Amino acid sequence: IRQQIIAHQSTGALMDLSLAHTLFQTNVDDFGHVQNNTKYTVYPLAFTRHLGNVQADGIITSFGRRMNLVDEKLQGIVEQQRDLRHAQEEDDIGMEIDMEERPDRPPILHAVSSQIYNAISHRVRDAAKFHEVQLGLVTTSLAGTTATSLPSKNRWQRNLDRCRGDLPHVRCAEKVAAAGQPQCMRFENTYRLDVHHLSAQKRSGDIIYAEVVNPLTRSWCHPTVLSAIKGVCVVVCFFHAQVVPELFQCATYPLTCLLEHLWNKHESVLKEGYVVDAFDLEMIAMLERALNYAHTGSSRVLTTMLMDRTWLSLSVVTDGLPCISSSFIHAGSLSSGLITIRRDKWPIHPVTRMPLTASQRSQELTYGKAHFLSYLASFAIKLAMKCVPLRDLNNANSNPVHQCATYAAEIALQCLINDTRTLVKDAVLQEITPLIEQGGLESAVVKPINGVMQLKVTSPPSISLSKFIEDIITQCNTLHPRSKPPFIARGQFLHVARSAIREVTTFAVQQGSCSGKDLELVIQDAFVSACHVLKINQVPWSLPPVAGRRGAPSTRVVHDAWMSLGATNPRGPPTSAALRAHENTPAAIARRTSQHIIVQDSRGEWSAIHVTLKSFHTVLHKSVAPQEVSQTGFDDASGESYIVEAYKFASDAYDPSKPIHHLAVIAGIACGGLLPQIFACKEQMTEGSKSSPAEYTSVVRNLDWVSRENRKKGVKDMQIYIRMVTLYIICMYESESPILKRQRDKTKGISNKKWVAKNSMKGITSFLLCRLGLAKVKKDRGFGSAQWGLDIEPLTQSEVNVLYDNVVSQLRRDNTYGGYDAVQYMMGNKTAELLAKNEFVTKRPTPTNGDREVVEAGSSNIHREGGRKRGEREWEEENEYVSADMATRKGQKRKAF
């Protein structure tokens, strides 16, 4: 008769994971160390970090002793020991003799594993695969809108219906919402009984129950076992009946709120063919994984490569509180009710260069690997279209559609390479595995004839690269493509290539630049370029038709038949014609016209990174600061309010009518182009400090630009660096800036120490201004710990005016090489050479001997006309500075261009 306690209610209890090791400790070894031979795993629940469940490969030590007694009784060892004790009473040496002759017997009862968990776990699932929050239902409901096969569409519809009924975490909470839910701790052991080693009279169910099951069950009540269990259990609450279920709801509340917000954003428009934003989908996948971790405690569900960067996995594991970095969601967007994901900061895999994802497992288990790879390709292409730096995407000499198509083609063809590797590996392993099993590794080694492995000949032996690309595009555009070369059976290339072409087509339509045949030519040219980049010269192919065999030839791609892509391409229309054609469409003309209006407007926004110094002459008329300088917010200020005030002052004080402010922008762009080689060589600086003051200018202009390994952190972001250099120069030249005010203030405790330390770590010092041509070294200390105004002096207003006039003259004189000439004049030849190498200026080609003769013959006429090209600053004569008055007189005689 089963019995139960009347009017009894179990209280919420969890295990203290920090004490789990005490359950599995064995005896102390000879060195005083406590041994623990049982491997166990802890699973913290509800982000508590130290309360949760345990799984072990054995049983707890105290219970193991009780099990050994049961095993000894099964083997009859207990009766033998009783007989030995009686014999010992009659003969003192009897026990020693019998113990030496006693044979070692293997145990009959074995401990397999154990687990310790809260009983509420059985109320939310029948097995691990049925836990509502472990299935990624929200992720698959959003990702399945683009499913292509009928089974995948059916699975998507079922998941969508389940989520529209109630979200998984809501259903999970409803299962444990009723009163009287068991919340006690359960200790379960798993044993193995070797029946064959039992004596014949004990091989019956009633004996096994009486001598094995019943004693093991009663062992839980033994004082040694109970004391060990009580020492690790934590009673959560005596009075609250639903403490454990509400613990989960409270801990996961921030995650479920954000998950519901993102679900409601897309739920009303979910239908077949609707494409969910990949950034929202991945954020939902991360939230579901964090929820999974809260309910199971298994860290394997956390995709740390992505989730660590969001702080989501780090926060729940380390701190027990879900947090999301502002690198992923804009600060303040959550409080406003909007979720703004920072797409430009999305992390990329360091090897594959593909965006990191958290939804891969859910998509592959639900819809297959091909579905996920197609999604990943679309994600990567969209990320490239939206986040490629302006310097690359808006290059005047390139076409954005062609750039996007080339990138998409590289992603697709990389998938072909991966399919080929898998094909060859599987086929070779299938061939050599039987040989290795029969004769070892040596029997699987095949010696090539004359050092060459002969492959099967294809028909035709080679095709042109353009024909290869045309076949790919034709197959991708077919509604139900047939499996034939170059698409490998069960490979993913077809799905990824179709996704790539679809994304490029969508991007071209949005740009309004090309369509139809022109777009096909652009895509074809992109695949050709990608083949050259990836060095694809041969691809696996199908076997040629067998002579005399009826039926269609085989189209299955095999690993030992390869097609060469070296045949001559037939003549066809050049792709450049397509590019010229779609650049003349009304939409493209309207787009260029709008951009031209913005460029011509003196108040129009402009980017220093986009313009560089190659085309700086096009923004000389701008009356607004570049976007890099005008942006608001100064978060990185080393905790000093005066640094924030200094940056804000410089930003507000920017006036392009002041020559030094315009020169500061030019210097900032130059520094951005030099990164990370923004530092001076220490050895050269030491030697330079030993030179005479008359040689300081020449020494500074000829120092090498180098990078420093210990200073890489502050010189990675070009946008921030341009901003800091520009504002630094303005602060050092404006007498009312907070920096110069603090420098003039002699009050004790007032200094610019934090300002100097912050900028020096990034190489932004007063000596950098000397290298940029905006300051002068006056003393040898200028090459070391220099003080502004004493060891290094700013240029006078007259010198600034002369410098500005000449730099602007160089920029306007030559649209192609003006930036190079201006940098060479202002900062020196080494700076100009490095910027040309980094493509921030266009280097003037070295003249030939004939060119030199022409230049020398006409030099006197040029000099008389006042149009000579200056090789040095107007206030420099024989490497010495002239006075301001002399510089002013020279400036009055010079003709400005």
Model pLDDT for residues 746-783, shown as the tens digit of each residue: 888 888 888 888 888 888 999 999 999 999 998 888 88
Residues whose CB is less than 8 angstroms from the CB of residue 538 and which lie 6 or more positions away in sequence, other chains included: 562, 563, 564, 565
Per-residue b/e over 776-808, b at no fewer than 16 CB within 10 Å? bbbbbebbeebebeebbbbbbebbbbbbbbbbb
Q: What is the mean pLDDT of residues 199-209?
A: 88
Please check the confidence at residue 82 and state whether its pLDDT lies above 80: no
Cβ contacts of 643 within 8 Å, gap of 6 or more: 634, 637, 754, 755, 758
Burial, 690: exposed, middle or buried (Cβ in 10 Å; 0-12, 13-18, 19+)? Answer: exposed
Q: Mean per-residue pLDDT for 307-322?
A: 92
What is the pTM for the complete model shown? 0.58
Gap between the Cα atoms of 475 and 468, Å rounded = 11
C-alpha span between 206 and 648 (Å, rounded):
87
**pLDDT tens, 710-735?**
666 666 778 888 889 999 999 999 98
Question: pLDDT exceeding 70 applies to what percent of the chain?
Answer: 79
State the DSSP H helix or E strand holding residue 66, giving kind and residue range, or none if neither: helix 61-75
Query: 């095709």: which residue's tokens?
Result: 463
Confidence band, pLDDT 50/70/90 cuts, at residue 126: low
d(CA 164, CA 152): 18
In whole angstroms, what is the distance from residue 231 CA to residue 21 CA? 11
C-alpha to C-alpha distance for 897 and 878, rounded to whole angstroms: 25
pLDDT at residue 293 in the model: 93
Burial class of residue 611, CB neighbours in 10 A (0-12, 13-18, 19+): buried
Let me know the angle formed at the C-alpha of 379 by 373 and 381, rounded to the nearest 5 degrees: 105
Alpha carbon 875 to its chain's center: 51
DSSP state of 329: B
Q: Are 27 and 62 in contact (CB under 8 A)?
A: no
Q: Which residues have CB under 8 Å from 39's CB, separation 6+? A: 56, 57, 58
Residue found by looking up tokens 């900032």 in the block: 668
Mean pLDDT of 399-405: 81
Helix (H) or strand (E) holding 881: strand 880-881
State the Cα torsion 816-820-821-822 to the nearest 10°: 110
Name 344's Cβ contacts closer than 8 Å, sequence gap at least 6: 386, 387
Three-point CA angle 263, 265, 266, nearest 5°: 75
Query: How far is 642 from 626, CA to CA, in rounded Å?
Result: 24
Domain boundaries, the chain: 12-120+176-241, 127-153+252-367, 390-546+553-582, 604-844
Q: Return the higher-pLDDT residue of 352 and 31.
A: 352
C-beta of residue 376 within 8 angstroms of C-beta of residue 156: no
Digit-coded pLDDT (tens) for 611-648: 888 888 888 888 788 888 876 555 454 557 888 888 88
Phi, psi of 182, deg, nearest 5: -70, 135
**How confident is the model at residue 188, as a pLDDT?**
93
- Other CB atoms within a 10 A radius of the CB of residue 824 amount to 23
Report which secondary-structure segment, H or E, holds 567: strand 557-567
User: Whole-angstrom Cα distance, residue 880 to residue 867?
Assistant: 24
H-helix or E-strand containing 542?
strand 538-542
**376: amino acid identity, one letter:** L
Q: How far apart (Å, rounded) are the C-alpha atoms in residues 277 and 536? A: 33
**Closest listed residue to residue 733, CA positions, set 662, 673, 835:** 662
Binned at pLDDT 50, 70 and 90, residue 510 comes out as confident
d(CA 49, CA 53): 11
| Nearest one of 732, 729, 727 to 743, comparing CA atoms | 732
Alpha-carbon gap, residue 695 to 646, rounded angstroms: 34
Which tokens is 820 given? 């190079």
Residue of 70, 81, 60 lying closest to 15 (CA atoms) = 60
Which range among 48-57, 319-328, 542-551, 843-852 shows the weakest confidence by mean pLDDT? Answer: 843-852
Q: What's the DSSP call for residue 868? A: P
Q: Is the pLDDT of residue 138 over 90?
A: yes
In the DSSP assignment, the letter for residue 13 is E
pLDDT in tens, 837-863: 888 888 887 654 444 443 343 443 434
Question: Quick one: pLDDT at residue 878?
Answer: 34
Query: Mapping DSSP to helix (H, G, I), strand (E, B) and coil, where does residue 818 land?
Result: helix
Nearest to 585 by CA among 401, 447, 851, 750: 401
Q: Confidence class of residue 56 from pLDDT cuts 50, 70 and 90?
A: very high
Q: Is 417 exposed, middle or buried (0-12, 13-18, 19+ CB in 10 A)?
A: middle
**What pLDDT is attached to residue 450?**
61
